[in-house]
Chains A and B, each alone.
Chain A
Amino acid sequence: MESTFNLNKFLKAMHKRKGLIIFVTLAFVVFAAVASYTIMNPVYKATTQILVNQNTVNSQDVNSLDINTNLQLIGTYNVIIKSPAILKNVIEELKLDETAQSLTERITVTNIESSQVVTVSVEDSSMEQAVLLANTIAKVFQEEIQQMMKVDNVSILATAEMTANPKPIRPDPIFNMAIGAVVGLVFGVGITLILDQLNTTVRSEEDIEEMAGLQVLGIVSPVDSNMKMEKPLNLSDRWEKDSYADSEQDKKINATKIGGSY
Chain B
Amino acid sequence: MRTANKTKRLMPRKLVVRTNPHSIAAEQYRTIRTNINFSIPDLTSKIILFTSASKEEGKSTTAANMAIVFAETGKRVLLIDADMRRPTLFRTFQLGNNTGLSNLLLGKGNLKHSVKASGIPNLDLLMSGQIPPNPAELLESDTLDELMEEMRGLYDYVLFDSPPILSVTDAKILANRCDGTVLVVNTGKSEKVSVEKARDSLATAKAFILGVVLNNYPLTSENYYYHNYNE
Mark A residues whose CB is within 8 Å of B: 200-205, 207-208, 211, 213-223, 225, 227-230, 232-234, 236-244, 247, 250-251, 254-255, 258-259, 261-262
A-B contact count (CB 8 A): 166
Residue B8, interface by CB 8 Å: yes
Instruction: Give me 17 A-to-B residue pairs in the complex whose CB atoms sit less than 8 angstroms apart, sorted by A's number.
Output: A200-B191, A202-B188, A202-B195, A205-B214, A213-B199, A214-B209, A218-B28, A218-B213, A219-B214, A220-B217, A228-B20, A229-B8, A230-B19, A242-B117, A243-B117, A258-B72, A262-B72
Bound-complex Cα distance A244 to B122 (A): 10
Q: Are A218 and B31 in contact (CB under 8 A)?
A: yes
With contacts A200-B193, A218-B28, A238-B119 taken as known, whether A261 is within 8 angstroms of B209 at the C-beta atoms is no
Q: Are A217 and B29 in contact (CB under 8 A)?
A: no
Which residue in chain A gives the minimum CB-CB distance to B196? A211
Residue B167, interface by CB 8 Å: no
The 3 A-B pairs at the shortest CB distance, nearest first, are namely A218-B32, A259-B74, A217-B211
Give min CB distance, B71 to chain A, whole Å. 8
Question: Which of B9-17, B100-108, B129-137, B158-166 lies at the binding interface?
Answer: B9-17
Q: Are A221 and B217 in contact (CB under 8 A)?
A: yes
**B186-218 contacts to A (CB < 8 Å):** 186-193, 195-196, 199, 203, 209-218
Q: Are B121 and A247 in contact (CB under 8 A)?
A: yes
Q: Are B218 and A236 in contact (CB under 8 A)?
A: no
Mark B residues whose CB is within 8 Å of A: 4, 7-8, 10-11, 13, 16, 18-25, 28-32, 35-36, 39, 58, 62, 65, 72-74, 94-95, 116-117, 119-122, 182-183, 185-193, 195-196, 199, 203, 209-219, 223, 226
With contacts A216-B211, A221-B25, A259-B73 taken as known, whether A211 is within 8 angstroms of B199 at the C-beta atoms is yes
- Complex interface: chain A residues within 8 A of B8 (CB): 229
Bound-complex Cα distance A204 to B37 (A): 23
- Complex interface: chain B residues within 8 A of A214 (CB): 183, 195, 199, 209, 211-212
Q: Are B119 and A241 in contact (CB under 8 A)?
A: yes
Across the interface, A221 reaches (CB within 8 A) one of B28, B74, B120, namely: B28
With contacts A223-B13, A223-B20, A229-B20 taken as known, whether A218 is within 8 angstroms of B214 at the C-beta atoms is yes
Q: Are B214 and A232 in contact (CB under 8 A)?
A: no
Q: Are B10 and A217 in contact (CB under 8 A)?
A: no
